[in-house]
Amino acid sequence: MQKEELSNLICTLTINGFHLGKVERLTPDNVIVNCHKYDKLGGRVNYSILLSEDKAESASCDSLWRMESNGENSKAILINDYFASARFDSYTKARFFDTLGGMVNTGLILIPNLSEILNQLGHNVLPLGLIGKPDDLHELYVKECLQFIMASPVRRYGIDRAFQKLPDGVVLGKERILIPIDSKAYSNGYSISADDIKRFAFYCTDFRQRYSHDYGPVYSFLVITGTLSDSGESISNRSNELYNECNVKLNCIESKVLGLMVEALKNEPHLKSALNWKNIFLKPTIELKQFEIELDRIRKDKIL
């Protein structure tokens, strides 16, 4: 079994709201992914998904069947291109991935004055014509913007945070890196506290334990907010604190800057694939200037 197939499965499950549990490699061609998902009322639904390359039913299917039938309260699913089993729901790889789907783009990045709308939402102000809570809308817009400019799936946890300690979302980077994100909508600006750093460190450690083996390391923790109240030196110190806690650095970006990045790419979307985000994430505070330098590098090199 190709490692990329397992990574694609984990990525697809994560984007669609599943929480990864134990991953069991039964044989080189058979892996069971145990995961769960919460329904809208908070009920937990457990799943055991067997990704198999076998040509016929084998002991791996027996292992999957025991998980469903032995009182473990786990819905069993088989993914296999060669056979279907009458004992549990069976899917080919193509049908399974088509059923769940991939990234969903709502088109928010195309709206006029995106950077100004993000700026208002980041300051906990509801823009004229929008309905909802500014902090919830800020999360949604941030998710769509990051998904567009980083050309990577982004999972927003939303209601799931009521049942688990989770950040606002996570970027599943195309270079096999994880970037947990926190969206902050504060009217008078956001200042990072020592308690925030401890919370961010918990998220990073949790993600590393659950996902890094199959999807890559936690590269950075990203905070998006209307105004950063702390000085550049203070943010740098907080980044060092986070690194000392969990070996992950902190990056911060103001909401308007994120919107301006999207606006800069809307007319040249082909440049996204050549962006080196490690250059943009060099400093704890991400600025538009560094992003523009990276775009100029791509244009001058005539990579695309």
Percent of the chain clearing pLDDT 90 (strictly above): 51
Higher pLDDT, 183 or 272: 183
Q: Residue 15 pLDDT > 80, yes or no? A: no
Q: What does each C-alpha distance from 4 to 7, 8, 37, 148 come to in angstroms?
A: 5, 6, 23, 22
pLDDT at 106: 60
Q: What is the mean pLDDT of the chain?
A: 88
Q: 141 and 281 in one domain?
A: yes
Domain ends where: 35, 67, 100? 100
In this structure, are 287 and 154 located in the same domain? yes
Same domain, 184 and 256: yes
Residues 33 and 75 in one domain: yes
pLDDT tens digits, residue range 44-100? 888 999 999 999 998 889 888 887 666 567 889 999 999 998 888 999 988 888 777
List Cβ neighbours of 296 (8 Å cut-off, separation of 6 or more). none
pLDDT at 111: 85
pLDDT score of 256 more than 70: yes
pLDDT, greater one: 117 or 267: 117
Same domain as 171, residue 224 = yes
CATH number for position 205: 3.40.91.30
Higher pLDDT, 130 or 257: 257
CB 31 within 8 A of CB 1: yes
Tell whether 50 and 165 lie within a shared domain: no
Can you spell out the DSSP letters for 162-230? GTS---SEEEEETTTEEEEEEEE--TT-B---HHHHHHHHHHHHHHHHHHHHHH--B-EEEEEES-B-S
Domain extent for 261: 108-301
Report the pLDDT value the prediction gives residue 299, as an integer from 0 to 100: 86
Q: Name the band, by pLDDT with cuts 50, 70 and 90, for residue 181.
A: very high
At 2 the pLDDT is 66
Q: Tell which wins on pLDDT, 274 or 249.
A: 249
Q: Are 146 and 269 found together in one domain?
A: yes
User: Taking a C-beta distance cutoff of 8 angstroms, is the pair 222, 150 a contact?
Assistant: no
Same domain, 114 and 256: yes
Mean pLDDT of 244-266: 95
Nearest to 80 by CA among 51, 105, 104: 51
In whole angstroms, give the CA distance from residue 121 to residue 116.
9
| Kind plus residue range of the DSSP H or E element containing 299 | helix 288-301
In the chain, the number of structural domains is 2
Same domain, 113 and 89: no
* 130 and 264 belong to one structural domain: yes
Distances (CA, A) of 209 to 142, 205, 246: 25, 6, 12
User: Has residue 31 got a pLDDT over 70?
Assistant: yes
**Are 85 and 11 in the same domain?**
yes
Share of the chain above pLDDT 70, in %: 92
Query: pLDDT at position 71, please?
Result: 56
Q: Which of 62, 78, 100 is the last residue of a domain?
A: 100
Residue 216 has pLDDT above 80, yes or no: yes
Torsion from C-alpha of 146, 148, 149, 153, nearest 10 degrees? 60
Following DSSP, what letter does each residue of 98-131 receive, concatenated?
HHH-S----SGGGSTTHHHHHHHHHTT---TT--
Q: Which of 60, 83, 100 is the C-terminal boundary of a domain?
A: 100
Q: Is 191 left (phi over 0), alpha (psi -120 to 50) or beta?
A: beta
- The band of 205, judged by pLDDT with boundaries at 50, 70 and 90, is very high
Contact of 304 with 270, CB cutoff 8 Å: yes
Q: In this structure, what is the dihedral angle of CA atoms 51, 54, 58, 60, given to the nearest 10 degrees?
A: -20
The pLDDT of 269-295, averaged and rounded, is 90
**Residue 115 and residue 207 in one domain:** yes
Q: What is the pLDDT of residue 304?
A: 53
The pLDDT of residue 278: 86
